[in-house]
Amino acid sequence: MTITDIQNQIKATSARAVVENSIKLARENEQYHAILNLTEERALKLADEVDAGKITGKLAGVPFLVKDNFLAFGAPTTAASKMLEKFDAPLQATAVEKLEAEGAICIGKTNLDAFAHGGSTENSAYGPTKNAYDQSRVSGGSSGGSAVFTALNVVPFALGSDTGGSIRQPASFNGVIGIKPTYGMVSRYGVIAMASSTDTIGAFATNVSDVEMVMDIMSGLDPRDMTTMSDFFQVKTDAKPGQKIGLIKDFMTDDVDSDVRAKVNEYVEKLRAAGHTVEEVSLPMAEYALAIYYIIVPAEISSNLARFDGIRYGHRAESVKTLAELYGRTRDEGFVTENKRRIMIGSYVLSSGFFDAYYLQAQKARTLLINEFNKLFASYDLLIGPVAPTTAFKLGENTSDPIKMYLEDIMTVPASLAGLPAISVPAGFSQTGLPIGVQFIGPRQSDADLLALARSMETK
Amino acid sequence: MTQISRDDVLHLAQLSSLELNETEIDGLQTDIGNILGYVEQLSKLDTNGVEPTYQVTGLNNVWREDTVINYGVTREELLARAPESDQNQVKVPKVL
C-alpha cells in the first residue's frame, strides 16, 4: 500500500473513512502486538478537520504510526517501559510536528525494546512484537512494531529510530524499506535519547518514493537539536548511471546464513545487469565495530538515562524514606534488565581507572573505522552487503545470551558509528519464506543517491 | 578475561543509582563479565597517535543568540507531570 493509494482513497471517500479503516486494521491485527496505544480520538478529530478543509498539505489525511519513543500527543509515550507507562508528553517531537504540518495523521504508538535497547522487541516491558511473516518469530528491533504494521499495510509509512540498526534490521526481517539517514539530517528533538552520538530518526515504507517523501518533509535544521544540519536532502529524479559499488566481503563469510548471502549475490547480479560495477572490497575494522559500539553506546546510555530518577516525571517508587532509596528503587522498578545491563556497562567503561582502556580506546578505534570507510568512498559510490547475518529468529532463541543478541547488530553498527546513511531494501525471501534485506551504505549526505538507486532497482 | 565479582556488580549498581533486586544480581554478574570480555578485544588494536572521534560530523560549539526559545510548554504543564509537587515546586523525600 502506497501513499498515493491512500490519497486516492481519501479522494474517493474521506480522510475519516481512511483513518477509521487503518485503526480497524490495527485492531484486527492485535495478535502481532505491534501497537502499545492507539491515538484514535485525536486521529479522528484531525481527519474531520482534513475533510472540512481546515488541514491541508502534502500528506493531508494520510495515517501513519510512530515508535513509542517519540513524544506525540493522543496517548502516553512509554518507550515500552514501566518508567514512562503513564507519561503524557507535554510537546511533540519535531519529526511528528513536521509531518502533522503537512496533514499526516498519527494513529498510534508502536512497540519497541524498552528505551530502544535491543534487536527483537523482546525487551519491551509489554511483551514482544511478532514477525509479519511468521508469528513464532521476532519482528526484529528495536523499531519492531513500526516495521510489522508497515509490512501488514496497516499504514503506508511509520517512523522509527536507528542507533545501531533499529530501523534497518526490522525492515530486513519484515520485507519493507527502512532508512537510517546521515547523522544530523533529521531532528531528534522530542525523541527519547539513547546514544546521542549515533541516534538517528528514519522511516519505514513499502516503496522508495514514499520513503523519499517522508524524509524530505522531516529533514533539515532544528535549533532544538544542535547536531542538525541545514537541509541537504533533495530527491533525485534518476539514479546516477554506471555506479561503482563495493560489496563488503567481511559480511559475506560462512558465518552468514547461506540464504542471506544468496539473495545479496542475486541483487548484485541485478545491479550489474543494470549497468553498475560491483567489486568485492574489504573493511577489516568491521570485525571490531561491535566491540566499539558496545562500549560507546552503553557509556552514552548510562548518561542519557540518568534523567529517569522519579523526580520530575514518570514512575516513582512508593513508600521510600530517603532520596537515594527513591532513585534506586524507582530505577529498579522502571527499567528492564537490558536497560540495567547497558547502564552498568556504561558506568564501568566510564569509571576512573577503566576510562582509557575502554572508552577512549573505543573512540580511537572508531576513528580507524571511519578512516577505512573514507578510503573506500574515495573509489566507490556506495557499499553493499547484508543487513543482518540471519533472517528473523525464533522468539526466545537469543534472549538468554546478550552477546548472541548483540551479534545480530554486527552489520548495522559500522554505519552508525561513522554517521553514514544506510538503507535496507527488500531482496527476496529465504527458502522458508522469510524476508531478506540488502543494505546500501553511502558517504555522508548521500541519502538521496542511495534511495534513487534503490528506486531504480524496484522493478528489476 | 575480565572477572566481575558480586561486589563489583553491587558497586556498579550503586554508581548507576540502581537498587537491584536479589534475583537479578547473578545473571548480571555473568552477562557483564561476558560483555566486558567481548569488548576487550579492542586492546589488540594499535591506536598510538590516533585521535578519538567523539562527534562524527565535525561539529564544535554550535552557538545561538542568548534568547529564550518558545517551547510551547508552561510551568504548570511540566509540574503536573511530577509525581509530587507543592507550591510550584517538585517535592522529594528529605535529602539531609
Q: How far apart are CA A89 and CA A72, in angstroms?
A: 6
A142 in active site = yes
Cβ contact, residue pair A366, B27, below 8 Å: no
Residue B61 binned pLDDT confidence (cut-offs 50, 70, 90): confident
Chain B contact for A236, CB < 8 A?
no
Cβ atoms within 10 Å, residue A304: 18
Q: Cα dihedral angle (A395, A400, A401, A404), rounded to 10 degrees?
A: -10
Closest chain A C-alpha to B88 CA, distance in angstroms = 12
- Taking the Cβ of residue A189 and every Cβ of chain B, the question of whether any pair is shorter than 8 Å is answered with no
Q: How many domains does chain B have?
A: 1
Which residues from A are below 8 Å from B35, CB to CB?
Answer: 294, 341, 345, 402-403, 406
Residue matched to cell numbers 493531508: A60
Q: Do A444 and B57 touch (CB under 8 A)?
A: yes
Question: How big is the CA angle at A298 (ends A401 and A181), to the nearest 5 degrees?
Answer: 100
The answer to whether residue B15 is domain-embedded is: yes
Residues 37-96 of B with CB under 8 A from A: 38-43, 45, 47, 50-57, 59, 62, 64, 69, 71-73, 77-78, 81-84, 90, 92-95
Residue B68 lies in a domain: no
pLDDT band at B1 (very low <50, low <70, confident <90, very high): low
CA distance to partner chain A, nearest, from residue B93 (Å)? 6
**Residue A459: per-residue pLDDT:** 86
Whether residue A368 lies within 8 A of chain B, CB to CB, comes out as yes
Handedness of CA A263, A264, A266, A270 (dihedral sign): positive
A422 and B CB contact within 8 Å: no
B50/A367 touch (CB, cutoff 8 Å), yes or no? yes
Decide if A311 and B93 are in contact by the 8 Å CB cutoff.
no
Tens-level pLDDT at each residue, chain A (460 residues)? 999 999 999 999 999 999 999 999 999 999 999 999 999 999 999 999 999 999 999 999 999 999 999 999 999 999 999 999 999 999 999 999 999 999 999 999 999 999 999 999 999 999 999 999 999 999 999 999 999 999 999 999 999 999 999 999 999 999 999 999 999 999 999 999 999 999 999 999 999 999 999 999 999 999 999 999 999 999 999 999 999 999 999 999 999 999 999 999 999 999 999 999 999 999 999 999 999 999 999 999 999 999 999 999 999 999 899 999 999 999 999 999 999 999 999 999 999 899 999 999 999 999 999 999 999 999 999 999 999 999 999 999 999 999 989 999 999 999 999 999 999 999 999 999 999 999 999 999 999 999 999 999 998 8
Q: How many CB pairs under 8 A join A and B?
A: 173
3-state helix, strand, coil split of chain A in percent (to 5) is 40, 15, 45
Given the cut 0.90, state whether the ipTM is greater than it: yes
Which residue range is the domain that position B11 belongs to? 6-44
For residue B60, what are the contacts with CB-CB under 8 A and spacing of at least 6?
none
Burial class (CB in 10 A: 0-12, 13-18, 19+), B10: middle
| Chain A residues whose beta carbon lies within 8 Å of the beta carbon of residue B26 | none
Amino acid identity, position A410: I
Chain B hits for A329, Cβ within 8 Å = 19
**pLDDT of res. B62:** 85
Question: Is position A166 annotated as part of the catalytic site?
Answer: yes
Instruction: For residue A332, give the nearest of B12, B18, B69 by CB distance.
Output: B18
Q: Say whether pLDDT at B2 is over 80.
A: no
To the nearest whole Å, the CA of B45 is away from the closest chain A CA by 7
Is residue B10 assigned to a domain? yes
Report yes or no on B13 lying in a domain. Answer: yes
Peptide bond into A142 cis (omega under 30): yes
Q: Is B36 among the domain residues?
A: yes
Residue B31 covered by a domain: yes
Ramachandran angles phi, psi of A399, nearest 5°: -75, -25
Active site residue A230: no
Selecting from B27, B57, B92 the residue whose C-beta is nearest the C-beta of A184 gives: B57
Provide φ and ψ at A219, rounded to 5°.
-75, 160
Window A:110-129, CB contacts with B under 8 Å: none
- Residue of B39, B81, B92 with shortest CB distance to A358: B39
Beta strands A35-38 and A105-110: pairing type? antiparallel
**Torsion-angle region of A288 (φ positive above 0: left; ψ -120 to 50: alpha; else: beta):** alpha
Distance between CA A84 and CA A116 in Å, rounded?
Answer: 13
Residue B19 lies in a domain: yes
Contacts of B53 in chain A (CB under 8 A): 363-364, 366-367, 370
Interatomic CA distance for residues A309 and A302, integer angstroms:
12
Judge contact between A411 and A424, C-beta under 8 A.
no
When scoring A321, A364, A374, A445 by the number of chain B Cβ atoms within 10 A, the one with the most, hence best to mutate, is A364
Whether residue B25 lies inside any domain: the answer is yes
